[in-house]
Chains A and B, each alone.
Chain A
Amino acid sequence: MKTKKLINAGADAVDEMLQGVLAAHPNHLYALADAPRAIIARNGPRKGKVGLVVGGGSGHEPAFLGYVGKGLADAAAIGNVFASPPPDPIMACAKAVDGGAGVLFLYGNYAGDVMNFDMAAEMLGLDDLEVRTVLTTDDIASAPADQRDKRRGVAGNVFVFKATGAACDLMYSFDEAERVARHANARTFTMGVALSPCSLPQTLKPNFEIGDDEMEIGMGIHGEPGVARGPLKPADAVTDDLMDRILHEMAASPGDRVAVLVNSLGSTPPMELYIMMRRVKSRLDAAGLVLHTALVGNYCTSLEMAGASITVMHLDAELQRLIDHPCDCAMFSR
């Protein structure tokens, strides 16, 4: 059975989406004429500022292009659905936002993204453009804590991008911007649950099978199988499963402040997200943690997958200031 989508030809979905994004947000974004999948901030990139390039596959909107703008990322390289962009748009992004202070690549830890961004960095190095790379690894379900560098990057990208983009906007040095990115990533923890699959525009077939009464804890944002499958539980119990793991890893002390993101994987509606948010708050209260700020909604999706993820960033004074720093992007502002 084929799933229903409002698309034209499947192969045109990404480019037609980009045309729509540019039509809607001409004051925030533009595409390079010779690299239509290099999406650049109108306001932000400037001389002396570290350029921040993010990117990855399509299908996660508003990630990643929605976080391009003043105070956040300077550019996003856009790939096919769930596929890393090739080196060409990545290189075009880097050249477009280079302010002479270095360019930082910040993206989720996936084998394909690493190969393509590394190839781009190598070729840019030949042109004397210095690039450094920080990988996001916030998904605690994807590898044990002692193998943090093997974990994948998921919705926690939003907080890591936010803090790093603020640091760049505040004209931090290349060393300091890189340090902030690593620090923000190290203090960001995400875990998700999937209820039903998504389908790629080119296949229109569900990308995994799951029973009507089942959920999968820890599933990735491309439908990668998670850590455990079981019967669907009430929202409080699911939220507890996720928060138990997150709070255990975060090891915060009473009085510490946190930023929370309750994120829809695509088709789970705000009603359900806020039911989860309610339980998150009671768990934070019970642990004596202070909720500094909360985001609830579609921030890093997986097409029309049903399910949600919870991200908690363990703030300190510096991260709190960077998360609060103003930003003005096409799909996100503070």
Chain B
Amino acid sequence: MTITTADLQRLFAMIAADIAVNRDRLCELDGVIGDADHGIAMDGGCQAAATAVAALDPATTEPATIFNTAAKAFLNAVGASSGPLYATAFLRAGAAVKGKSTLTDDDFVALLTAMADGIQQRGKAEPGEKTMLDAWKPAADAARNARQAGASLPASLAAATEAARTGCEATAAMLAAKGRASRLGERVLGHVDPGAASAVIIVAAMERFVGTIG
């Protein structure tokens, strides 16, 4: 497959649409162990990113610019914790495809690893600390491993979504080491991390997106 700048504009629109329908659910998850605004932040950030990206001319814009534009728009719409984390993820994605005019299947799989690494470095988190990294890192690893084993792009992204979901569910059994939930001790047990839940939605949107590439 060849993924163009116009395709990536569509990707950000699909992510924004999927986050929007889950906005209130993400707020409810956050209300249990945080301050109930995660859905608002993710919705605001993804809408801003999609809008900013849509305003670019696909004929003269490289894929890297799509990600860099999304990063700045997301960050300035949101602030909060998710702003710096996703802004860094998108900036690393942009750096990973710098200079390319279109993306190959391998490029797209590599985006997930770049994003997961960016989130990990900005948040200074490790796996197992009940954060969005617990969905992003397994998703990136699963996509990379599937791809290296010869899987198609859709199959690689399907593996990523599955791993993100499993990783998110596993956060219910974790104590929180980062963010506001870290002050709650054992009261967070039994509740998934809202950041991991929104990560699943984004990875699933990326899977849905590659299914639409002809």
Contact = CB atoms under 8 A, between A and B. Distances in A.
B89 to A, nearest CB: 13
A79 B81 CA distance: 12
Contact of B34 (A85, A88, A202, A224): A224
Nearest to A199: B36
A116 B78 CA distance: 10
B40 A80 contact: yes
B1 interface: no
Contacts, number: 103
Interface of A is mostly: loop
Nearest to B35: A222
A86 interface: yes
B83 A116 contact: yes
Interface of B is mostly: helix
Interface residues of A, number: 33
B77 to A, nearest CB: 8
A23 interface: no
B34 A81 contact: no
Contact of A225 (B27, B37, B80, B184): B184
B118 interface: no
B130 to A, nearest CB: 12
- Report the contact-size class of chain B (Cβ under 8 Å from the partner): 20 to 34
Contact of B75 (A11, A87, A203, A223): A87
Nearest to B24: A203
B184 A224 contact: yes
A111 B79 contact: no
A107 to B, nearest CB: 12
B182 A150 contact: yes
29 contacts: A11-B44, A57-B79, A79-B79, A80-B40, A83-B40, A83-B79, A83-B80, A86-B75, A112-B80, A112-B82, A115-B83, A115-B85, A115-B123, A116-B79, A119-B84, A152-B180, A152-B183, A200-B27, A200-B40, A202-B40, A203-B36, A203-B39, A205-B31, A205-B36, A207-B31, A222-B35, A222-B180, A223-B31, A225-B187
